[in-house]
Amino acid sequence: MQIDASNKTFYAMKNFGKLLIIFVFTTFLNPVFCQNFLEKELLPNKTYVLLAHPTVKNIETVNFLLTNRILQLPEIEFVGVYSLAENYDYGQSVALLKKPEMSRFHLQKLDGVMSSNQIFAQNEWTITFKKLFDQSVGAFFFGGPDIQPEIYRQENMYSVVTDPNRHLFELSFQHFYICNQYVIHLDYLLTNQLNYLKYQLYHNL
């Protein structure tokens, strides 16, 4: 059976449509896509607040506060920021954010591992920290296990440190906003967003 040119065009377009649908689904369901907010999901007309250590429990805590109007931020969206070196499986958070009711939440991963000698100086995270700061109006830092005492020059006598890389990441993250040792430092913060907010949330809220 012969197929004329119009039929060939029809079948070609049909197959192209299938490929396009497959591409769209695989792109948006790809865990890497879901963890690159700055490159894939940032919208200029949105207002964002950052969430450090965006575990399932922490995201659900914020969502509970929003749903029950304990935390009244109706126009805000949230970006979970974390290091891939943390001792937590953020694939669980990626899976949670695929639910339709979690559309206000996003994720931004950062690669790399820092030592305690690097976190209080400009490092490979600094540029991303600046981008996140520029695109947000506040940050939430959650409570958690002990920070390794060696960081603040104390002997570790009793602390059980379960996630040292998380602490190193969050200290460097906070240091960007509050210390003047960076090339991009406190003057930058005061000049660009004087009203920038930082919250400390604990699980007993």
pLDDT in tens, 109-141: 999 888 888 888 888 888 898 899 889 988 898
- Does 85 fall in a domain? yes
- Does 22 fall in a domain? no
Q: Are 76 and 48 in contact (CB under 8 A)?
A: yes
- Does 26 fall in a domain? no
d(CA 178, CA 173): 9
Prediction pTM value: 0.73
- Does 108 fall in a domain? yes
Which pLDDT tens digit goes with each residue over 75-91?
A: 999 999 999 999 999 99
- Does 107 fall in a domain? yes
Q: Looking at the predicted structure, is the pLDDT value of residue 164 above 50?
A: yes
- Does 164 fall in a domain? yes
Domain count, the chain: 1
- Does 10 fall in a domain? no
Domain that holds residue 53: 36-201
- Does 7 fall in a domain? no
Tokens 């004329």 -> residue: 4
pLDDT band at 58 (very low <50, low <70, confident <90, very high): very high
Kindly state the tokens that stand for 21.
Answer: 């649908």
Residue 35's pLDDT is 78
Query: Which of 121, 140, 101 shows the shortest CA–CA distance to 180?
Result: 121
